[in-house]
Amino acid sequence: MKAKKNQTEAFPSHEIESLTEIAYKVVAQNFHRYPELDGVEDKTVLKEIVKLTNKKLPITTVARNIDFEFYWKEKCDIDPVMVERNIKREQHGNSYKQAYIETHI
């Protein structure tokens, strides 16, 4: 990649991932090994990691460690049991997480 003269950024095209983005991916890919994410206190960082975390991880791994509703909504949307039974979050305390857990217990 050639540098362009009138650019203020070294890599303005976003074709090359930042070290932060690479770190998020690595942590997300290994979430099953350390699901507690001890030491990650920044909610923004935690949210980015959870966005990339595999939605097919077992409930025993994610239930205690992920509270973001967007994760549980996606998990509900891809789960054949949830789709087949047409489970609604409104029937489960208005929470996707609660709907998913109650359906699979």
Assessment of whether the complete model's pTM goes beyond 0.85: no
* Burial of 2: CB neighbours in 10 Å, binned 0-12, 13-18, 19+: exposed
Q: What range defines the domain where residue 85 resides?
A: 19-104
CA 89, CA 11: separation in Å to the nearest integer?
Answer: 43
* Percent residues over pLDDT 70 in the chain: 87
Domain count for the chain, please give it.
1
CA 73, CA 32: separation in Å to the nearest integer?
Answer: 19
Residue 13 lies in a domain: no
Residue 10 lies in a domain: no
Residue 74 lies in a domain: yes
Q: What are 8-52's pLDDT values in tens digits?
A: 666 666 678 999 999 999 999 999 999 999 889 999 999 999 999
A 10 A CB-CB count for 46 gives: 16
Q: What is the DSSP letter of 54?
A: -
Closest CA to 27 of 17, 18, 36, 15: 36
pLDDT of residue 9: 65
Q: Which residues, 6+ apart, have CB-to-CB distance to 14 below 8 Å?
A: none
